[in-house]
Amino acid sequence: MNPVKKVAKGNGWIAVYGVGYVGLSLVAVYLRKGYRVIGVDIDEEKLEKIEKGELWYGEEAIRKAVSKGIREGRLILTTDGVEASRKSVIKTVTVPVYVDWIKKTYSFHALRDVSVKIARGLKKHDLVIIESSVPPGTTMSIVKPILEEKTGLRAEQDFYLAYSPERVYIGRAVRDIEENYPKIIGGAGPKSTEIAAEFYEGIAVKGVIRMSNPTAAEFEKLAEGVYRDVNIALANELAIAAMKMGVDYYEVRKAANSQPYSHLHLPGPGVGGYCIPIYPYFLSNELLKKGYVMELTRLARRINESMPSIVASLVDEALRREGLKPKTLKAAALGLAFRGDIDDTRLSPSHDVVALLKARGFKEIIIHDPYVRRDPIIEDLGLKITNNLGEALKDAGLIVVLTRHSSYKGLKVSNILRYTGREPVIIDTTAYLDNDINYDKIITLGKTPW
């Protein structure tokens, strides 16, 4: 029987492999649709937190859907991926392809492991959808062979296999899946495409876009990220150029974007998260194997990865102007998350900026973030995180604003001075602060002549 019709009639379960940011969002969306769902993850502690209602990644829609699903018996949480595969007729995979950020290499270990577990419970007419961001060709060259070799079944003939990239913005993922974007579908064949499309047409208000094959769909997802990375790199380069020319990038950006073909992005201290910084390597590394160098993509990465060093250079310049030495100053870094109003610190450029400050020998460094309570990298650096802005700013001789949290927007420099009790050097990489007193010891990325 058609697996989509099975779950719609309440006769089948959907298994979601990996219940992180994306996976738990999908769990919530499926539950909101009335489906029965199995959340699978190797992290028992994470599953316990979800069951207790302690983990929903800041989205109230997720919390409500998960709580209701557990209460009604429509959500099962388990570490047993094989049993989940046996019980389910649709399997959605969101486990990551892990990246060695130093070597810029990646490992398919988690995806292979999940594929084997799914294969051990795979049945005829089941649907497998890969939603993880992956290098192009992964679904057909890694997942499909594992499923077929372990089962003797054949994709398209015996079971359905498709790639459908997640397209979510953390903090509004449920709305993105259900309302904001069409779903991209690339099946291993026409039957798989249509079955996967039928499933998501019942979920995504804007319908689906059918791609010719999984590799095209994988490429599409990465192209979205590369577009963002390249344009952020352009914004960063123009912001620095504006400073050198003594003009305000934000003024220029506003005027330029009044033209319908100009979409200048915001500059910042770098690009973080487990998406945009990684996708260029997924794509460019695979193209290197084919003898093609993605020059623009690689250059954009270099620019964005250099931004923490640029911020550190602004610190050096500001201290030189004031005749100050790091070893005599307390430094406060405002913002650890890689993006505003979330608690996700993965690959945050704030880590690099803080590490560079520590290397410069500041007497004390404290990190403020309204959402982040703990972070292993900051702990390894032996530094403190606080949610109390006053604590972070007290006695600080250097303040570096690194994240566009809404709580920083419009923060008056006069108030900062009252908090610090002194006249600190301020580096604002976000252009969020309100210099209400024309304070001259502040450098704003993209604004202050340099």
Instruction: Tell me whether residue 2 is exposed, middle or buried, using C-beta atoms within 10 angstroms of its C-beta: 0 to 12, 13 to 18, 19 or more.
Output: middle
| Chain Cα centroid distance, residue 284 | 19
Query: Would residue 183 show up in a list of annotated catalytic residues for this protein?
Result: no
Catalytic residue among 183, 275, 330, 447: 275
- Is 67 in contact with 51 (CB distance < 8 Å)? no
Complete edge-to-edge strand list for the sheet that includes strand 442-444? 384-386, 364-368, 330-334, 396-401, 425-428, 442-444
Among 50, 51, 35, 24, CA closest to 131:
24
Residue 410 vs residues 51, 340, 402, 431: alpha-carbon distances, Å: 38, 14, 14, 9
Q: Outline where DSSP puts E strands in 155-297.
A: 160-163, 183-187, 208-210
Residue 51 vs residues 24, 48, 277, 373, 414: alpha-carbon distances, Å: 12, 5, 32, 21, 45
Q: Which residue has the tokens 């990684």?
A: 278
Query: Would residue 409 show up in a list of annotated catalytic residues for this protein?
Result: no
Complete edge-to-edge strand list for the sheet that includes strand 75-78? 75-78, 36-40, 13-17, 88-93, 127-130, 160-163, 183-187, 208-210
Among 53, 1, 2, 3, CA closest to 28:
53
Catalytic residue among 46, 183, 221, 330: 221
CA distance 407 to 334: 10
CA distance 450 to 447: 9
Instruction: Tell me whether residue 133 is exposed, middle or buried, using C-beta atoms within 10 angstroms of its C-beta: 0 to 12, 13 to 18, 19 or more.
Output: buried
Catalytic residues, which ones?
221, 275
